[in-house]
Structure 1
Amino acid sequence: MKTVVGAAKNWWCEPVNIILVEDDADLIETIQLGWPDGGDRIEAYTSYASFKPVLFSGGLAAADCVILDMKLPDASGTQIITEIQRVSDIPILVLSGSGETEFRADMINRGIDDYVLKPLSVKELHARVARLVRRKIIPVHAGETPAQINGVTFDRARRILRCGAGQSELTHAEAQLLGALVDAGGRVVPRDELYLRSFGRAHREGEKVLETYVSRLRSKLDQLQPGSDEAIQTARGSGYRIIAQSSSV
């Protein structure tokens, strides 16, 4: 395990605590030495075995983000994602050499918050981590009250959907996306705006990340109340909107 601690501060005046699970020692060094914010702390683990004590002892509570390599010598990335999500809602950013559409869709369906393809740019990795951490620590605005989507309550403060005794947790990106649609009050929200609001970046030609997230939200709504998924409507060639939603007191 190696830790980088520097003197510089981020815009929120606190260092970011990052857990890096990666077996490539050269890549670990590249990330640590090239990291733009010297005040951030990067703790590196080169195997699942070395990371497990942190995972199962509550160590994630002190961290702001996990950067996870999908190919470790002693465990699959999907297994580790599942274990992390059992104990924490910490943002997870995946590192992978696979850019296949099916792989990206599978990662999104597993609830990860972002991914960076190898060979990576440390500046891009830093920017994506900073976005995830900002989204995690910025407090919920007072105006972000629960909203009704047909019979389902969207509690954005807790990032959950509720209907009767049932509930479904949302990832950071899912909550951002649903919040952007709710805030629009029924108007069509353009795809580019949804990408910026949900993922903190512009849409890339040919990718279907937004469609995958919309499908996940529709599925979660429908599971809680059949038919409520129809509240999210597609505006072909433009974006999405929510109808039949009202404020919840």
Structure 2
Amino acid sequence: MRENSHMIVLIEDEKPIRHFLGSALQEAGFHYIEADTGKQGLVDAATRKPDLIILDLGLPDMDGIDVIKQLRAWSDVPILILSARSRETEKVMALDAGADDYLTKPFGVAECLARVRVLLRRRQASNTAEQSVFEFGNIRVDLAKRIVEKAGEHIHLTPIEYRLLVTLIRHAGKVLTHRELLREVWGPSYAESNQYVRIYMGYLRQKLEEDPAQPRYILTETGVGYRLVTD
């Protein structure tokens, strides 16, 4: 008996990877469909209505970036990238195109499954009414009242710091690129002003982390962006 009914579309042209990852997904209780081309993956995504897509960027018929862009034209399904492309610029391209997370080959199955679970939890949370109180560690954020507390003590955040924190909360577990954060917090005209993100992330860490130099929750994805980890 399966533990859940989550459907995953696995778009990967390398048969050995499809086999071992498919076996791991099945063992973990997921339903999954295999596709070895981008075109077939798009068809499966449209017809199967999956809860998540695992996508290789190096497909034989089309670039994975184009698959992401086509998916994002009509779907907000979480997309986890698996790719041998390890350069930061390529990760940023995939995330800016609409991917939710990125794993570089070779990767561990345990880590891949953990990323899958995080993305599915975030999707489930977004499909319910937005919770008015969000907590991680000793931080409590009342989104309705716009109140932030640390260990029961009120923390003053500037309007930009608060918008940045709320953006991280709404995408908890997802890698947010510098460009995405700038667009959501500062607006489109600041899309190339990466220094703003670095400065204000530093401010947030000073106020929220126990050790800002070794953050536990607001993590840097080097050369890519940031991720709020709540587990």
Name the structure 2 match of 1:47: 37
Unpaired runs of 5+ residues, structure 2, are 134-142, 149-154, 190-195, 207-231
Counterpart secondary structure, 1:72:
coil
Counterpart secondary structure, 1:99:
coil
Q: Distance in 1 between matches of 2:93 and 2:104?
A: 15
Deviations 1:39-89 (A, max 9, x none): 21111101123224334xx3253x100111001111111111111111211
Q: 1:32 aligns with which of 3, 12, 22?
A: 22
* Cα distance, 1:209–1:136 mapped onto 2, change above 3 Å: closer
Q: 2:182 aligns with which of 193, 215, 218?
A: 215
Q: What letter matches 1:200 in structure 2?
A: G
For residues 57-206 of structure 1, the aligned pairs below 5 Å read 58-61=46-49, 63-138=50-125, 139-141=128-130, 143=132, 184=148, 187=157, 198-200=171-173
Unpaired runs of 5+ residues, structure 1, are 1-6, 145-178, 202-207, 224-230, 242-249
Counterpart secondary structure, 1:19:
strand
Deviations 1:1-59 (A, max 9, x none): xxxxxx241xxxx322100000000001110223375421111101123224334xx32
The structural deviation recorded for 1:121 is 1.0
Deviations 1:110-148 (A, max 9, x none): 12111111011111111111111111112224538xxxx
Q: TM-score, normalised by structure 2?
A: 0.63
Q: What letter matches 1:32 in structure 2?
A: G
Counterpart secondary structure, 2:202:
coil
* Cα distance, 1:33–1:192 mapped onto 2, change above 3 Å: farther
Q: What letter matches 1:21 in structure 2?
A: I
* Cα distance, 1:81–1:142 mapped onto 2, change above 3 Å: closer
Name the structure 1 match of 2:5: 15
Q: TM-score, normalised by structure 1?
A: 0.59
Please tell me whether the aligned partners of residues 32 and 42 of structure 1 are also in contact (alpha carbons under 8 angstroms): yes
Q: Distance in 1 between matches of 2:182 and 2:200?
A: 14
Q: Distance in 2 between matches of 1:135 and 1:88?
A: 16
| Larger RCO (alpha carbons 8 Å, 6+ apart) | 1
The structural deviation recorded for 1:235 is 3.4
The structural deviation recorded for 1:196 is 8.3
Identity within the alignment, % = 22
How many correspondences in the alignment? Answer: 177
* Cα distance, 1:37–1:238 mapped onto 2, change above 3 Å: farther
Q: Distance in 1 between matches of 2:168 and 2:132?
A: 22
Q: Distance in 1 between matches of 2:108 and 2:27?
A: 15
- Name the Cα RMSD after superposition: 3.7
Q: What letter matches 1:143 in structure 2?
A: S
Q: 1:235 aligns with which of 193, 196, 200?
A: 200
Q: Distance in 2 between matches of 1:183 and 1:22?
A: 45
Please tell me whether the aligned partners of residues 182 and 188 of structure 2 are also in contact (alpha carbons under 8 angstroms): no
* Cα distance, 1:116–1:196 mapped onto 2, change above 3 Å: farther
